[in-house]
Amino acid sequence: MRNRTIVRLKFGSHLYGTATPASDLDFKSVFVPSARSILMQSAPKTISHSRPKGIGEKNYAGEVDEEQISIQKFLHLAAEGQTMALDMLFAPDYAIIGDPAWEWREIIANRRRLLTRKSAAFIGYARQQSAKYGLKGSRVAASRDALSVLNTAMEEHGSTAKLQVLSDDIIFMCTMREHMSVMEDVTPHGQTVFLWEVCDRKMPFTASIKNARDIMQRVVDEYGRRALMAETQQGIDWKALSHAVRVGEEAVELLQTGHITFPLPNATHIVDIKLGKLLYQDVAAEIEGLLERVEQAATESTLPDEPDHGWIADFVEYVHESAVLARAPRAYPVSEFNA
């Protein structure tokens, strides 16, 4: 028996309502693995159908990409709050190809069990894009201050000294600056380590001052590059910017209502960004504002803190067991040596 598809749907711009003549065709599907692969513990998690591409090569208009995801993997991604899985959960009828199987209808009936206020991927993505594209003056100031302290420290302590020697100065700076903090982390061996975070770049106190300085120099250079991009409108990845705005708006709606609307209510605005019709600094400011809205919505959301792991495990067990038991018994080939 082969893998059995329980739903196949149009994804990407054709789901969002942001398709342009240059858009490719993107499909996603969820499948129940074959009985044999379940029994042999060899069931694939994902299967991709797309042509090999060179570095930086993009799809041409109308090109078809398809990804198939096992039901267990899909539910795991949805419970993590991964954007792709959540988009699929709320795909409307116009995006679904053919009749979905009972398993998919059951997932949709229980999708609330998969949602959480954490929506880790949504919030993480919003923060990442805000740090990547934002032009907020306080970020620039924080990175420049950090670089100045590190340059002075290299002259006083040498390039091989550890960041730890600056711990008091770093802690004081963090009380005076936005986008700067000291964090605790635990290594796989159970050791507690401290990190200096500046504009989402984390530098352990065990790192050398030179290593930290090089990181901050790259951050400052990047902000300078973005400022130049904002002035010239050159070299901007408009598609990435449009995704950042789309995901941020989806996150706010999900956290506030427990739902995502397709086609996107702001589809025209997303297309204008994707086509580069807006000013870079305006879009960057929009992304900065979206991050604040997402984090506020997460704080106020009535969604649970954790997904229903018990329901997920029970449902996957039932589906896999049904797939195995549904296979018709067959005669086992008796070896001639046992005759």
Summary mean pLDDT of the chain? 86
Lowest mean pLDDT among 29-43, 75-89, 106-120, 313-327: 106-120
What would the two tokens of residue 123 be?
């919030």
Confidence of residue 176 (pLDDT cuts 50, 70, 90): confident
CB proximity list for 137: less than 8 A, separation 6 or greater: none
131/200 Cα distance (integer angstroms): 7
- Are 289 and 129 spatial neighbours (Cβ–Cβ below 8 Å)? no
Give the per-residue pLDDT at 136. 63
| % of the chain surpassing 90 pLDDT | 55
Q: Please determine, for residue 196, whether its predicted confidence score (pLDDT) is greater than 60.
A: yes
Q: Where are the alpha helices (DSSP H) in the chain?
A: 13-16, 35-39, 71-80, 83-89, 102-109, 120-133, 137-157, 167-176, 209-232, 238-257, 267-274, 280-300, 309-325
Give the per-residue pLDDT at 258. 94
171/141 Cα distance (integer angstroms): 17
- Are 74 and 30 spatial neighbours (Cβ–Cβ below 8 Å)? yes
Confidence of residue 49 (pLDDT cuts 50, 70, 90): confident
Cis check for the bond before 263: say yes or no (omega within 30 of 0): yes
- In the chain, domain spans: 4-116+304-325, 126-132+235-300, 136-225
What would the two tokens of residue 190 be?
């159970």
Give the per-residue pLDDT at 210. 94
Give the per-residue pLDDT at 235. 75
Under CATH, what is the fold of the domain 4-116+304-325? Beta Polymerase; domain 2 (3.30.460)
- Are 163 and 204 spatial neighbours (Cβ–Cβ below 8 Å)? yes
204/106 Cα distance (integer angstroms): 46
Lowest mean pLDDT among 89-98, 102-111, 243-252, 325-334: 325-334
List beta partners, residue 184: 194
Cis check for the bond before 265: say yes or no (omega within 30 of 0): no
Torsions phi, psi for 329 (to 5 deg): -60, 145
Lowest mean pLDDT among 53-67, 248-262, 280-294: 53-67
> Which is higher by pLDDT, 224 or 19?
19
Average pLDDT over residues 2-26: 92
Give the per-residue pLDDT at 159. 84
83/124 Cα distance (integer angstroms): 11
- Are 219 and 198 spatial neighbours (Cβ–Cβ below 8 Å)? yes
Neighbours of 150 (CB within 10 A): 24
Average pLDDT over residues 185-206: 87
Confidence of residue 59 (pLDDT cuts 50, 70, 90): low
What would the two tokens of residue 273 be?
């960004």
pTM of the model: 0.73
Residue type, 93: D
Torsion sign across C-alpha atoms 43, 49, 51, 53: negative
303-319 per-position pLDDT tens digit: 999 999 999 999 999 99
DSSP track, 163-175 = GGGGHHHHHHHHH
Give the per-residue pLDDT at 1. 65
Give the per-residue pLDDT at 120. 56
Q: Please determine, for residue 87, whether its predicted confidence score (pLDDT) is greater than 80.
A: yes
Q: Please determine, for residue 227, whether its predicted confidence score (pLDDT) is greater than 80.
A: no
Average pLDDT over residues 189-201: 87
Burial class of residue 36 in the structure, from the number of CB atoms within 10 Å of its CB (0-12 exposed, 13-18 middle, 19+ buried): middle
CB proximity list for 1: less than 8 A, separation 6 or greater: 34, 35, 36, 323, 327
Label residue 256 left, alpha or beta by phi (over 0 means left) and psi (-120 to 50 means alpha). alpha
149/143 Cα distance (integer angstroms): 10
Confidence of residue 57 (pLDDT cuts 50, 70, 90): very low
Give the per-residue pLDDT at 185. 85
Average pLDDT over residues 72-90: 94
265-294 per-position pLDDT tens digit: 999 999 999 999 998 888 888 888 888 898
Lowest mean pLDDT among 119-123, 162-166, 298-302: 119-123
Residue type, 251: A
103-152 per-position pLDDT tens digit: 999 999 999 999 998 765 666 776 676 666 665 667 778 888 999 999 99
